[in-house]
Structure 1
Amino acid sequence: MNPTDIGTLRREPVPRPPSQEEDPWNAAAPLVRAAQSGDLMALNDLLDLLTPYVSRLCRPIALTDSADAVQESLIAVFQGLPRLKDPRALYAWVRTITVREAVRIARRTEHETPVGEFADLAFSGGRDSGPEIAADVRDVLRRLPSEHRAVLVLRELEGLDESSASRLLNVSRGTVKSRLHRARHNFRKAWAR
């Protein structure tokens, strides 16, 4: 190879996988800005990013209506997207909308079982297999009021403190504490049977 050939060779950049330190929500900020300015590809990429997260929040709250809750949440998110001032706040903003929509959908069609009827709950004998445990957990959750499921999701899955959960659910901190206490108590009681 002679020195004049060096300039003609181009080395393709090696795509690097995203590092684990990179926060996908911070990486979403440019997508939010592009989507807000009308970029349909960015809107589609944002939908791909948000759908699994929204689904993860809706499933334990809205249970059998989780597909409706996901759809309503995503519609609300994308209708409100032009008003989102700080794209880095996307995560908390989407969580707030999603939990509120999931609770609203769950209340609309919910058939709650009073706590006294937990005695009728039949579990499979062995809880060592994943699908059986998941079915048992889902069955217990189904019997809790939607407000209790929402508090459990925010505290146990999302790791929010009581103050943050109370702001998100638009209830007092004491209400969050009492709902969480009752939800955990009723879950344990049903699970032990």
Structure 2
Amino acid sequence: MRPVPGERSDDRTARLVRAAQRGDTLAMAELLDLLAPYVGRVCGPIALGQGADAAQETLVAVFKSLRTLKDPAALHGWVRAIAVREAIRTAHRAARTVPVDLSALPTRGDPQLSADIRDVLDRLSPEHRAVLMLRDVEGLDERAAAALLGVRTGTVKSRLHRARDTFRKAWTS
């Protein structure tokens, strides 16, 4: 679909969603191009090595359910919810659900330390990676993160506290 001169990005996205919901394959392809990088940025920090698989599963789920999206303006929030759910599910499926003992991480001054952020994230549970990503990367508040994850606000607060504490201890040891 060609952009309409003077059309805002949000209006164009809404037009693409409505066209894709009607079965327009060109609109679906453009929507895929628009959503793929965003989905990758959401899934990667949660599913880690399986981020690409989680992103693919997310895009499949989005396009299977696209007709159920009532408000095209809510597209990114709706896609984010699906992406977080799929990333957590994919990470669980990859048997990364049990946090590993973080005491074996290198100490300060170790030359390998600069590469260890990813290693520390690898050792967190998918739920902890998800809450860190939603709060510290996406900037959502506890209430929004709780709604997205399908848990209570208190659960988000406690997971966030534990995730930050675990990350901090691993990073500073």
Quote the Cα distance in structure 2 between the aligned partners of 1:118 and 1:25. 44
Match of 1:119 in 2: 103
Match of 2:55 in 1: 70
Match of 1:150 in 2: 130
User: Shift in Å at residue 69 of structure 1?
Assistant: 0.3
Match of 1:84 in 2: 69
Match of 1:4 in 2: none
RMSD of aligned alpha carbons: 2.3
Match of 2:13 in 1: 28
Letter in 2 for 1:45: E
Q: Secondary structure at the match of 2:23?
A: coil
Letter in 1 for 2:51: S
Match of 1:41 in 2: 26
User: Shift in Å at residue 111 of structure 1?
Assistant: 3.1
1:57 corresponds to which of 22, 42, 66: 42
**Is the Cα contact below 8 Å between 2:91 and 2:97 reproduced in 1?**
no
Q: Secondary structure at the match of 1:160?
A: coil
Quote the Cα distance in structure 2 between the aligned partners of 1:30 and 1:172. 35
Whose helix proportion is higher, 1 or 2? Answer: 2
**Equivalent pairs, count:** 169
Structure 1 residue runs of 4+, over 6 Å off? none
The unaligned stretches of length 5 or more in structure 2 are: none
Task: Summarize the Cα distance change of 1:36–1:112 in structure 2 as closer, same or farther, 3 Å threshold.
Answer: closer
Deviations along 1:24-81, whole A, 9 cap, x unmatched? 4453111101111111111000000000000001111001111110111000000010
Q: Secondary structure at the match of 1:171?
A: coil
1:184 corresponds to which of 144, 164, 171: 164
Task: Give the % identical residues.
Answer: 57
TM-score, normalised to structure 1, is 0.80
Task: Summarize the Cα distance change of 1:114–1:85 in structure 2 as closer, same or farther, 3 Å threshold.
Answer: closer
Match of 1:8 in 2: none
TM-score, normalised to structure 2, is 0.89
